[in-house]
Amino acid sequence: MSDNADHRGGDEQRILVWDFPVRFFHLAFAASFLGAFAIGQWADDHGSLFPVHMLLGGTMVLMVLLRVVWGFVGPRYARFSSFVFGPAEVFSYLRSTMTGGGKRYTGHNPGSSLAIFALLALALGLGVTGAFMAQGGDLMEELHEILAYAMVAVVGVHVAGVLWHTIRHRENLPLSMIDGHKAGKPDGGIRTAHPMLGVLFVALTSLWAYGLARGYNPATNQVTIPILGQTLQLGEDGGHRSRHDDDD
């Protein structure tokens, strides 16, 4: 259950809440989503930009896996156990955001917690349906599109929620995801931001992206997945295209 509820007293100060892995994850995950969505939505899926769509999506899958590990071993506010809430708490939180008052949370609140788990799951779903589109055919393509728009909707609610909180509580939440600090009880902060593990997150993510890019063959639209060594046919009509391109 949650251990981050905070009944505010008068003794608040700026405390360290978000460690570097969480902040780097947020920045990279959000930027990759926006990039992948924009290319998927507006670029020609046979054009030269489209592999970047698949690369960003494939990199988000690793980011999610790393975030899940961090959700079990990371510090207090990064840990899933600090932001798993029962339905009653979610409901009462959502109602209190409308009516005013209610509890405040140093870490993720029950509203953002819902959005976070949904976003992690949607990104994995997009990775899987994207990767197996050539094999899965129309159904997979349909599903990929539905998940993409569902994710746009959740992101919209997420950003609206952040802005709403920022205005209502006069607390600059977007900045907190950059500098890691929020208002809270003096003894509520985490001790270290884990800068080296933040660097490790960036390094692993970059290496994975590099491996995917290196393993990609534009002539056949196939990718050999780093570490796994598995070769995958990409593209919604990849099977047809590769047969023509096999001779080189």
Residues contributing to the site for ligand HEM (CB under 6 A): 22, 25-26, 29-30, 33-34, 36-37, 40-41, 45, 53-54, 57-58, 60, 67, 108-109, 112, 116, 119, 123, 126-127, 130-131, 133, 141, 144-145, 148, 151, 155, 158-159, 162, 173-174, 176-177, 234-236
Nearer to ligand HEM, 108 or 241 (CB): 108
Burial class (CB within 10 angstroms; exposed 0-12, middle 13-18, buried 19+) of 225: middle
Give the shortest CB-248-to-ligand HEM separation in angstroms.
21
Q: Give the integer Cα–Cα distance in Å for 118 and 51.
A: 25
Give the shortest CB-74-to-ligand HEM separation in angstroms.
9
Nearer to ligand HEM, 2 or 176 (CB): 176
Nearer to ligand HEM, 95 or 169 (CB): 169
Give the shortest CB-201-to-ligand HEM separation in angstroms.
11
Nearer to ligand HEM, 7 or 176 (CB): 176
Give the shortest CB-236-to-ligand HEM separation in angstroms.
4
Give the shortest CB-120-to-ligand HEM separation in angstroms.
6
Nearer to ligand HEM, 16 or 119 (CB): 119
Give the shortest CB-92-to-ligand HEM separation in angstroms.
17
Nearer to ligand HEM, 163 or 196 (CB): 163
